[in-house]
Structure 1
Amino acid sequence: MQVITFLQDSYFLGAFIIVLFSFLVSYKLYPVIIYLCYIKKLSKLPEKRSSHIFKTPTLGGIGIFFGFALTLSFIGSILVKYMVIKTLLDLMAALLILFFTGIKDDLLVISPLNKLASQLLAASVVIIFSDIRISSFDGILGIYELPYVVSISFTFFVFILVINAYNLIDGIDGLAGTVALIIFIFFGFYFLINQQFRQVLVSFSLIGSLIAFLKFNVSRTRKIFMGDTGTMVIGFIIIYQSVRFLTVNRTLGIPFSLSNGPVFILALLSLPVTDTLRVFIIRIRNGKNPFKPDRNHLHHYFLDSGFTHIKSTIVIACLFLTVIISAFLLQSLNINIGLVLIALISFILYIPITLRKRIYNLN
C-alpha cells in the first residue's frame, strides 16, 4: 500500500520505473526473437528498392508489443483499485487485432483490403466502445463541436490515415523508432504534468520498448526490423494518444494546457503525413499507382545523396524536432494562422530538392 501511494505521489519516479520495466522486457526478448527468426528462416529477403543486402528478421514489433503489453498489464493490475482502466482494456483489445494482423502480414503477406478491415475493426473498438473521438475542431475554420456522426466518421478517417502514414516512414534503420520515441516523450511528459496516469502508463511503456528496439534496429550484428506488426501497433497508439491529448487539453483546470492543441498534433504528425501525401502526389502525377512502393520517400533522398542510415535518421529527426519546436513558438497565434504556418514549415523542411542541395553543400 505504501509503495503504491508513493508511486502515485511521485509521478516522475513512477514513469522511470515504467520505462525501465518495459525496456528490460523488450531487451531480453529480442535475442530470442532474432534467434528464432534465423532458426525458423523467418528473415526477410531485401527488396529491389531496399538499401539492405542481407536477410533480416522483420518481427521487431513483437518485442515492442510484449514490452508494452506486459508493462501495461503488470502496472495496471497493481493500480487497478486506484484508477479506471476500462479504456486501457479496450486499447489492448484493439492492439491485439493489429498485432496478429501484423504478424500474419510480416510472415505470409495479406491483402491491403484485409489489412484495412483489421484497422477499421481495431479503430471501432476504441472509437465506439470507449468514445475516443475527435469531438471538436477547436475553432479551425470557425468550427467547434462536431455532430456525432461527423465526429465518428472523421476520427475513423484520421486513425486509418495515421496508421498507414506511419507505416510508410519505416524505410531505414532507426527512423520509425526515433520518430515514435520523440512523439511519446512529448505525450508522456504532457500527461505526466497533468496527472493523467492512464496515458502516462501508455506513453512510458512504449518509450522503454522503443529504446530497446532501437538498440537492435541499428545493430550491425543482431539487426531486426519493426515490420508491420510494430508500425500498425505504434501508429495506432500515436493517433489514440493524439485524440486523448485533444480531449484532455480542452479540460478546464488542468495544471498545463497548450492554447492551440490541434497545431501541436499537426506538428507531431507532420513527418509521416506530409511525406505520405507528397509521395502519393508524385506517384499520381507520374501516372502510377499511389500505393505502389518506390524510392520517393524523404529518407530515400538522403540515402541517394550519400548519407548513411544513422545520419539520415539524425537529420530527419532534427527537422522533425524543428517543426515541433515551431508549434510551441506559434501557440499564441490564431489557431488557423498557426495551422497554416506549421503546414508551410513542414512543407519547406521536408522538400527533398531543397534538402538535396543542402546535403551536397555539406559534403
Structure 2
Amino acid sequence: MKLMDTPGGRKIHTGYIPSMGGIGFVAAAFISILIWFSYENLIEVRYLLAAFGLMFFVGLRDDMVNLSALQKMGAQVVAALMVIIMSDIRITGLYGFMGVHELPLYTSYGLTLITIIGLTNAFNLIDGLDGLAGSISLVSFVFLGWWFMYSGYDAYAYFSFALVGGVLSFLIFNWHPAKIFMGDTGSLSLGFALSILTVLFIDLDGTMIGAKGMKFAAPIATGVALLIVPIYDTLRVFLKRAAKGKSPMSPDKSHVHHFLLRMGLRHDQVTLLLVGVKLFFIGIIFLAQGWGDNILLPAVLIMAVLIGLRLDTVTLRRVKKINAESPPVLVKREKKKPQVHPKMLRKIKINEN
C-alpha cells in the first residue's frame, strides 16, 4: 500500500521506512486479551478496551490521511470521557498534597480529562527516535503490571502485560536502525493506555489501605516519575517556544532527543540514556516510598529540572566542540597553474612536425 514515512522536513531518518507498526502490537494485545481474559476480567476493563480501540483507529486514520488537530483532540476527549464516566477511572483527590484530600465531582472529571489528554499527547511527541517511545512505555507497563498484580487488580495487570509483550516484539524491528515505525497508530494508543493506567494507579494507591498491596505514600510523584521523560520534554519544548514568541504547538527540532543527537550520540545511545534517567527516578520513588507528595513531588520536579539543565549544558558544550573541529562548509581554495612533471615529458615522444 506504500504507507511509508517519507524523509525530509523535521524527520531525522534518511530512507523510506514503513509506518503504522502499531497495528502489530495493538492487534497482538487484543488477541492475547481475548485468549487469556476471563469473562469477569473482560467486564471489568470493557470500557478501557473500547476507548483503547477508538484511539487505535484514530491513530490509524491519522497515519493514512492526516487528521486535523481538532479532529484528533475531539476523539481523545470522547475516549477519555468513556473511561472517566463509565469506568469511574479518575483522580478523586490530591491524596493529602497541600492538605487537599477529596475533590468535587466535576473538578475531578475536569482534572482527569486534562491529565489524560495532556499525557497522551506528551507521549506522542517523544515518538521521534528509533526505539524511544517503545522503550519508555515498556518500563512503565512493566511497573504498572507488577503493581496491579501485587495489589490484586488482575484485569489491569493482564492488560499491562499484554502490551509489554506486544511492545517487546515491536522493538526487535524498531531498534536502531529501525525497519518500521509505530506511527500515530501506535503512539496514540500507547500514550492513551499509559495515561489511563497511570491515573488509575494514582487513585488506587492514594486511596488504598497499606495492607492491601504495595503502598506508595506519594502517588502523584510516583505517577509523574512513570512518565517523567514525556512530561519534562513537553514542558521544556513549550516553554522554549513561548520564550521565542512562537506558538507552543509549532513543530521544530527542539525536543530532548533531537538535542542529544546533535552531540553525536546514536539513536540507541539516546534511547538508553533517557531510559536510564527514567529508571533513576523510579529508583528514587522506591527509596523514598514512605515520603508523601508534599516532599517527594517537589523533589522529583526539582531533580528533573536540574538533570535536564545539566544535559543541556553538556550537550551544548559538545555541540560547540564538534562544530569547532568540523571543517568549514565553504573553503577558499588557491588557484594553481597546472604543472606537468618532468618524468612525464621524458616518457612522451613529441612529434616535432
What TM-score results when the alignment is normalised by the length of structure 1?
Answer: 0.84
Alignment match, 1:147: 104
Q: Any gaps of 5 or more consecutive residues in structure 2?
A: 323-353
Q: CA deviation at 1:226?
A: 1.1
The aligned counterpart of 1:238 is 194
1:166-185, CA deviations, whole angstroms, 9 ceiling, x for partnerless residues? 00011100110000000011
Tell me, yes or no, if the aligned pair for 1:275 and 1:350 is still in contact at 8 Å.
Answer: no
Matched residue type, 2:63: D
Distance (whole Å) between structure 2 residues aligned to residue 149 and residue 123 of structure 1: 14
> C-alpha displacement at 1:248, in angstroms?
2.6
Report the Cα distance in structure 1 between the residues aligned to 2:182 and 2:204, rounded to whole angstroms: 30
1:310 aligns with 2:268: yes
The alignment's C-alpha RMSD in Å is 1.9
The letter of the residue matching 2:28 is G
Residues 267 and 196 (structure 1), Cα distance of their counterparts in 2 relative to 1, 3 Å cut: same
Find the counterpart in structure 2 of residue 133 from structure 1: 90
Structure 1 residues 362 and 68 mapped into 2: Cα distance closer, same or farther (>3 Å)?
Answer: farther
Match of 1:183 in 2: 140
Greater shift in the superposed pair: 351-360 or 262-271: 351-360
State whether structure 2 residue 221 is matched by structure 1 residue 263: yes
Counterpart pick for 1:51 among 12, 16, 21: 12
Identify the match of residue 90 of structure 1 among 36, 42, 47.
47
> Could you say which residue in structure 1 is the equivalent of 2:298?
340
Distance 1:183 1:342, change over 3 A: same
Amino acid across the alignment from 1:225: F
Alignment partner, residue 42 of structure 1? 3
Consecutive unaligned residues of structure 1, counting only runs of 5 or more, are 1-39
Residues 184 and 203 of structure 1 are in contact (CA less than 8 Å); yes or no, is this contact kept in structure 2?
yes
Q: Shift of residue 247 of structure 1? A: 3.0
- Output one character per residue of 1:272-296: Cα deviation in whole Å (capped at 9) or x when no partner: 0111011011111111121121111
- 1:204 matched to 2:161? The reply is yes
Letter in 2 for 1:237: A
Task: Identify the residue that residue 118 of structure 1 maps to in structure 2.
Answer: 75
Q: Distance in 2 between matches of 1:324 and 1:362?
A: 33
Shift of 1:190: 1.1
Task: Give the letter for the 2:312 counterpart.
Answer: I
SS across alignment from 1:138? coil
State which of 295, 300, 308 in structure 2 corresponds to 1:350.
308
User: Percent same amino acid at aligned positions?
Assistant: 34
Which amino acid is the alignment partner of residue 259 of structure 1? A
CA distance in 2, matches of 1:339, 1:256: 19
Distance 1:58 1:276 in 2: 23
Residue 275 in 1 paired to residue 236 in 2? no
> Can you list the C-alpha shifts for 1:18-39, whole angstroms capped at 9, x where unaligned?
xxxxxxxxxxxxxxxxxxxxxx
* Matched positions, count: 319
Distance 1:280 1:307 in 2: 24
- The one-character-per-residue Cα deviations of 1:47-86 (angstroms, maximum 9, x if unpaired) are 322221111111011112101111112211xx21xx3432
Change (3 A) 1:103 1:67: same
CA deviations over 1:220-245 (Å, ceiling 9, x no partner): 4x711111111111111111111221
Please tell me whether Structure 1 or Structure 2 has the larger radius of gyration of its CA atoms: 2
Is the Cα–Cα contact under 8 Å of residues 349 and 355 in structure 1 kept in the other structure? no
Q: 1:323 aligns with which of 281, 285, 291?
A: 281
